[in-house]
Amino acid sequence: MRKKLVAGNWKMHGSLAENAALLAAIKPALTGIEAAVCVPFPYLGQAQAALAGSSIAWGAQNVSEQAKGAYTGEVSTSMLLDFGCKYVIVGHSERRSLYGESDELVASKYMAAQSAGLTPILCVGESLDERESGVTEAVVARQLDAVIKVAGVASLAKAVVAYEPVWAIGTGKTATPEQAQAVHAYIRGKVAALDAGVAAQLIIQYGGSVKAVNAAELMAQPDIDGGLIGGASLVADEFIAICRAAAK
């Protein structure tokens, strides 16, 4: 049985006061449930202090592919480890679309994270134009292949994949459970063609306007192993409900 993992992606939201209230609310409610929060860099210390010893892990939303050096504004894997991070998101659609991160750069970040002992949450997914053009699988394959080419398929045994249809992020639109399942099954099948054992254990999250009202139906799909949650992860009751739906 694959475990299910729900990870909150706070994006560029939060304050010390808001974070304290949110973490205080979710910590006791998620005892024994596999969950994580990926917070803005300045709040990693706060997350570490609040969540240490709990069943909730924490991580970052991005990382540099460089180990150290004259890279103003960047954050390295060793810095994330200093704050006890377990996870780091790489290749989120907003990093790809807004900041021009290429498949190759995402693969480098994935490699850097994994080499340091962090678990990368590798995001893949298509835009609305790509879906309507019928190239969803080709786009996802290209994004996956860039990582497999440099890291090998075995590396996915120590990673998480998050399928996020770009057209369903922050838009209120959600892929139907059937649409999401179809892409998840494609991803697992693609990995299985290279290594069936890795594919069987690979956690594939769904990310795209997941809320308490649709979480149970999404999580019930055979190849959906949790979620990468944006806006709903900032609302304690919503995030708790999503995590509990996955745990069932």
Catalytic residues: 92, 164
| 38: CB partners within 8 A, 6+ apart | 7, 8, 9, 10, 58, 59, 60, 61, 87, 88, 89, 121
Closest CA to 125 of 112, 149, 144: 144
| 6 and 29 Cβ atoms separated by less than 8 Å | no
Tell me the C-alpha distance between 223 and 104, whole Å: 27
> Which residues partner with 119 through β-bridges?
87
Three-class secondary structure of residue 37 per DSSP: strand
